[in-house]
Amino acid sequence: MREFFTYAEFEDFWQKFRPLTPFGREVHARRPVQTRADELEALWDQTQVALDLLAGCDEFQASRLSHHLKRLPRIPREERALYDEVELFQVKKFLHNYRALVQRLPESVQRFFGLEWPCQDLLERLGVGRQSPETFYVSDEYSDELAGIRAEIRRADETLARIRARRAAEIEEAWNLGFGTREFLVVPRERLRSPGDSPEAGLARMERWLLVEAYDQAHVLVRPRASAEELRLEEERSGLQARERAAEDRVLEDLSSRVRAELPHLEACRKAVQAFDLALARARLSREQALTRPRLTLEGPIHIQGGRFVPCEETCRRLGTTYRPLEATFDTSATVVFGSNMGGKTVVLKTLAFLQACAQTGLFVPAGRFVTRVFHSFHYVGEGAERGPSQGLSGFGFEVRQFNRVWRDLDQPTLALFDEFARTTHSQEAEALISAILEALAGNPRAVALFSTHFRGVRRLPGVRYLRMKGLDRKGLDFGQAKAEGPDSGQATGTDLDQRIRLIDNHMEYLLVPDEGIPRNSDALAVATLLGMDPALAGRAERFFLEGNETTS
């Protein structure tokens, strides 16, 4: 599966699909592939509803929906005896934004996604006292006991502040030390010695007021020493704080029991908003990328009209070349696509892979029309597939191992793409192997397999469709120009190479047409000439090629 998605170059596109809630992002991170038609249809229905909603929204309304979705936090899902303040905060913030979101949606959309609002009492209870709708605080108003304790703490704090201010004033008067907002001061040692004091008397007097630590040879570090009254009040405050914690715990227990009672409702809200978030993200992507809803067929042909392989389309846009969407019908279990190098046969396979990846991850697809089946297994066999830990296998050996995996899955709906399968072995053996596979697949209605290949000697078998890329349109091409550029032209790089590639692109007809098995001029040799190969050498090769065709025909 992963190799298939890599081959389809789907990952970057998937990253453009951006759910806004943590619940939606969880699904995005898993990238589930749907293998049930009814589930896919349900997802696409949701996308359609979200698209209709966006069509009826102005920019501001749409931004408000995003605003509330983005602010939905995760919420606790397990039943617990005590939820802490953070969890209660999450529940409150979730409910506030969930309610605001639901209120902004038409009733039909609320009903469709099951976006009900059952938790009004809980939200009100979590907002008791003076606090903002998206924050949480165990306010005094939750309990008279708590309010009373906090009032005592306030009084203790005020008294402590007064005592400390008085003590600071006394220290300033006695020692001329103004602490201001500083917790400690660095003082020259001689400042602490009064003229008439003996050292012992001076130290005793000083230590009544100040804690003194050595700082360096000339200075000491001093901080005010707490008076007995201050220490008593601090102790008292500490006791009050312990009582405050206990009172807060009782509030938290009460709120926790209310959250526990609403957990089923909260879970329903979470699921509904997750579905809505994902649908809205799919709808936004559909609008940005001009996607359409795919159609499903049970065992009918795959139809692609105007199918766009978005990574290639973006590359063409960047390079300033024309991108040609794919028109194709795959109405047999096995299809062979012939074509020269740079003729676009790999892009045909990738386009199908890309569209199928979009469809089965629940997205709409970049195509004018895409009729397809639901597959349960997806395979790519060819170059670039991951080799895994096995050692000592050749490229062909790996392909055979890849194929064995396909073979094992063929009893279930399978999409298998073979990009130049067996290209590294002897051509006759490769043709024989591909022919045998084609024969076996032709009679399997559960599979859809596409083979891109250069091997023209594969058997023409009933039940197998043979197509080719239309290839190079040689009209207006000046093959002599490559020669004129001299012997270095074979090492074309940079701008020159870009121009040559663009020339090939502009003359290549990326069209699938039926292949009747009639020998044609070699596009590969023409491409080699256009890429700078000596035309005399290419011409000689063309002659050998045609002689070979005459011999075989």
Closest to other proteins by CB, 138 vs 285, is 138
Closest to other proteins by CB, 97 vs 346, is 97
* Opening angle at CA 308, ends 307 and 313, nearest 5: 160
Point out which span in 98-106, 113-121, 177-185, 277-285 binds other proteins (CB under 8 A): 177-185
Q: Candidates 59, 107, 190, 216: give the one binding other proteins (CB under 8 A).
A: 216
Build a one-symbol-per-residue string for 362-401: x at contacts with other proteins by CB under 8 A, - elsewhere: ----------------------------------------
Closest to other proteins by CB, 106 vs 188, is 188
Q: Is residue 217 involved in binding other proteins (CB under 8 A)?
A: yes
> By the 8 A CB rule, do 344 and 469 touch?
yes
Closest to other proteins by CB, 97 vs 489, is 97
* Opening angle at CA 30, ends 408 and 65, nearest 5: 140
Handedness of CA 400, 401, 406, 407 (dihedral sign): positive
> By the 8 A CB rule, do 338 and 457 touch?
no
Point out which span in 178-186, 375-383, 404-412, 459-467 binds other proteins (CB under 8 A): 178-186
Closest to other proteins by CB, 192 vs 359, is 192
- Residue 122 Cβ, how far from other proteins at the closest point, in Å? 17
Closest to other proteins by CB, 245 vs 271, is 245
Closest to other proteins by CB, 190 vs 200, is 190
Q: Is residue 90 involved in binding other proteins (CB under 8 A)?
A: yes
- Can you read off the two tokens belonging to residue 255? 């709120």
Residue position matching structure tokens 């009084």: 155
Alpha-helical regions (H) of 410-553: 427-442, 480-484, 494-507, 523-530, 535-552
Closest to other proteins by CB, 188 vs 445, is 188
Distance CA 229, CA 252 (A): 34
Closest to other proteins by CB, 158 vs 547, is 158
- Residue 275 Cβ, how far from other proteins at the closest point, in Å? 23
Handedness of CA 36, 38, 41, 42 (dihedral sign): negative
Residue among 329, 349, 346, 299 nearest 465 (CA): 329
- Residue 176 Cβ, how far from other proteins at the closest point, in Å? 8
Residues 183-202 that bind other proteins (CB under 8 A): 183-188, 191
Kindly state the greatest CA–CA separation across the chain: 127
Residue among 467, 432, 447 nearest 302 (CA): 447
Distance CA 368, CA 140 (A): 62
- Residue 244 Cβ, how far from other proteins at the closest point, in Å? 8
DSSP per residue over 506-517, as a string?
HHEEEEEEE---
Closest to other proteins by CB, 89 vs 545, is 89
Closest to other proteins by CB, 57 vs 128, is 128
Q: Is residue 247 involved in binding other proteins (CB under 8 A)?
A: no
Closest to other proteins by CB, 23 vs 364, is 23
Amino acid in the structure at residue 297: T
Q: How far apart are the first and last CA of the chain?
A: 41
Q: Is residue 85 involved in binding other proteins (CB under 8 A)?
A: yes
- Residue 145 Cβ, how far from other proteins at the closest point, in Å? 15
Q: Is residue 135 involved in binding other proteins (CB under 8 A)?
A: yes
- Can you read off the two tokens belonging to residue 200? 């012992």
Closest to other proteins by CB, 11 vs 84, is 84
Q: Tell me the β-bridge partners of 414.
A: 377, 447
Q: Candidates 45, 84, 254, 473: give the one binding other proteins (CB under 8 A).
A: 84
Phi, psi of 386 (to 5 degrees): -70, 135
- Residue 191 Cβ, how far from other proteins at the closest point, in Å? 7
Residue among 23, 58, 244, 261 nearest 143 (CA): 244
Q: Candidates 128, 147, 153, 511: give the one binding other proteins (CB under 8 A).
A: 153
Q: Candidates 14, 89, 396, 545: give the one binding other proteins (CB under 8 A).
A: 89
Residue position matching structure tokens 């790089």: 493
Q: Is residue 250 involved in binding other proteins (CB under 8 A)?
A: no
Closest to other proteins by CB, 135 vs 297, is 135
- Residue 86 Cβ, how far from other proteins at the closest point, in Å? 5
DSSP H or E stretch at residue 357 = helix 345-360
Handedness of CA 454, 456, 458, 464 (dihedral sign): positive
> By the 8 A CB rule, do 378 and 415 touch?
yes
Point out which span in 58-66, 130-138, 423-431, 439-447 binds other proteins (CB under 8 A): 130-138
Distance CA 279, CA 107 (A): 17
Phi, psi of 516 (to 5 degrees): -90, 0
Q: Is residue 157 involved in binding other proteins (CB under 8 A)?
A: yes
- Residue 238 Cβ, how far from other proteins at the closest point, in Å? 9
Handedness of CA 153, 154, 155, 161 (dihedral sign): positive
Point out which span in 50-58, 84-92, 347-355, 539-547 binds other proteins (CB under 8 A): 84-92
* Residues found in the chain: 553
Q: Tell me the β-bridge partners of 449.
A: 334, 416
Amino acid in the structure at residue 295: R
Q: Is residue 215 involved in binding other proteins (CB under 8 A)?
A: yes
Q: Is residue 241 involved in binding other proteins (CB under 8 A)?
A: yes
Q: Is residue 73 involved in binding other proteins (CB under 8 A)?
A: yes
- Residue 182 Cβ, how far from other proteins at the closest point, in Å? 6
Q: Candidates 15, 181, 390, 551: give the one binding other proteins (CB under 8 A).
A: 181
Q: Which spans of this chain sit near other proteins (rule: CB under 8 A)?
A: 73, 84-86, 89-90, 131, 135-138, 150, 153-154, 157, 176-178, 181-188, 191, 215-219, 221, 237, 241, 245
